[in-house]
């Protein structure tokens, strides 16, 4: 039998090892969660990566377009924002998935030249957002950003931006992890807006079902 002081030392050492093991495990878990959140945040600004994720998860298709059965597609045909002299032309396609992830595919011109999603820090600068309104005819009725406050207290559209070239053309793909908390049916008929580099509204189109 061990003497009392030796047994006490062993028990103390065992407790210390257990506590250290627990701390290390918690630290590893927190690090893993942090890396996961950072990766998700990166994907939320990289629609192509999000698109690849869904492409890989599709077992029945080798192309993204034919794997869109996983989500519903909405399309907005862009025109000048009411009261502006901007001349945007083109379309924006949104694929909204069952978990609310959104992939935004822009094919438009007449936008702000040289928009840079990575460096623009202006409020709404180079933004692409769904708004509350159901019209693109009256500026006062377009409203603000549209999202479910029940699912997110913070505005998910704040950092969602697009890239354009020096001629104001954009073929960018933007991802929004968990989207705005609404499915395609609720986002249907809402106004989709594109902003210039200063954050001003320059283009608007109503979201319609894609044939």
Write down the pTM of the prediction: 0.74
Each residue of 135-181: pLDDT tens digit? 999 999 999 999 999 998 899 999 999 999 999 999 999 999 999 99
Whose structure tokens read 């093991």? 21
Q: Please provide residue 128's backbone torsions phi and psi, each rounded to the nearest 5 degrees.
A: -130, 115
pLDDT confidence bin for 45, thresholds 50/70/90? low
What residues contact residue 14 under an 8 Å CB cut-off, 6+ apart? none
- Mean pLDDT for the stretch of residues 88-101: 95
Give me the phi and psi of 109, to 5 degrees please: -135, 175
**Alpha helix ranges (H) inside 46-175:** 47-57
CA atoms within 13 Å, Cβ hemisphere of 74: 24
**Pairwise CA distance, residues 122 & 195, whole Å:** 11
Q: Which residue has the higher pLDDT, 25 or 53?
A: 53
Tell me: pLDDT of 66 over 70: no
Phi, psi of 85 (to 5 degrees): -105, 20
């Amino acid at each position: 039998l061990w003497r009392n002081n030796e047994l006490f030392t062993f028990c103390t050492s065992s407790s210390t090892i257990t506590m250290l093991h627990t701390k290390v495990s918690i630290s590893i878990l927190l690090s893993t969660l942090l890396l996961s959140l950072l990766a998700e945040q990166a994907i939320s600004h990289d629609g192509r990566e999000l698109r690849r994720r869904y492409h890989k998860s599709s077992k029945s298709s080798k192309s993204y377009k034919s794997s869109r059965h996983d989500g519903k597609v909405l399309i907005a045909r862009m025109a000048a924002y009411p009261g502006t002299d901007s001349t945007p032309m083109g379309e924006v396609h949104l694929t909204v998935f069952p978990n609310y992830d959104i992939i935004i595919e822009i094919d438009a011109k007449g936008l702000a030249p040289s928009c840079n999603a990575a460096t623009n820090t202006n409020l709404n600068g180079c933004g692409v957002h769904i708004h509350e309104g159901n019209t693109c005819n009256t500026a006062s009725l377009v409203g603000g950003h549209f999202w479910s406050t029940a699912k997110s207290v913070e505005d998910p559209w704040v950092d969602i931006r697009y890239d354009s070239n020096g001629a104001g053309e954009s073929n960018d793909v933007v991802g929004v992890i968990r989207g705005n908390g609404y499915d395609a049916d609720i986002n249907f008929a809402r106004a989709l807006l594109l902003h210039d580099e200063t954050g001003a509204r320059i283009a608007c189109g109503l979201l319609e079902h894609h044939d």
